[in-house]
Amino acid sequence: MLRICVIDGQGGGIGAAVIKRLRDVFEDRADIIALGTNAIATSQMLKARANRGASGENAIVRTVAVADLVIAPVSMVMAHAMMGEVTPRMAEAVASCPARKYLIPLFQENMEIVGLTSAPLPHLIDALIESCLADHVGSMDKIR
């Protein structure tokens, strides 16, 4: 079974939106693990129907090491992002884990990725599912 780690911080809204869509597409054919930088983020992602969840630095560091896919805001590879919630150890673990990483370009940091066009979160999630995860879904009909 495909092991997908969804990581988020602060209120967990991005991760929860991603998990809801993943659950619609994959149903029960994927093990979706919610990893929050804090307990509130993890709780929101669990409400979105993640299979299980954990919070904090050690949970993130240990779990991404055994993931097949990691989905997170781009800030998760930036030390001290999310108002300091992303520790250097978390950022390093996510960036260097062997899993395929899909980073969502939403962040509050004082930075911009040149050439990136702005899009609302639902459109970014649809692009993630349709373009990046299509190979992992049994039928393209499930995506639409």
pTM of this structure: 0.90
Who's near 41: CB < 8 A, 6+ residues apart?
Answer: 8, 9, 10, 11, 12, 15, 34, 55
What phi and psi values does residue 59 have, to the nearest 5 degrees?
-60, -45
Q: What is the CATH number of the domain that holds 84?
A: 3.40.50.720
| Cα separation, 84 vs 97, whole angstroms | 21
| Residue 21: strand, helix, or coil | helix
Domain count, the chain: 1
- Residue 85: domain span: 2-143
| pLDDT tens per residue across span 112-126 | 888 887 888 989 989
**Token reading at 44:** 């929101």
Q: What is the mean pLDDT of residues 136-143?
A: 54
| pLDDT tens per residue across span 36-72 | 999 999 999 999 999 999 999 999 999 999 999 999 9
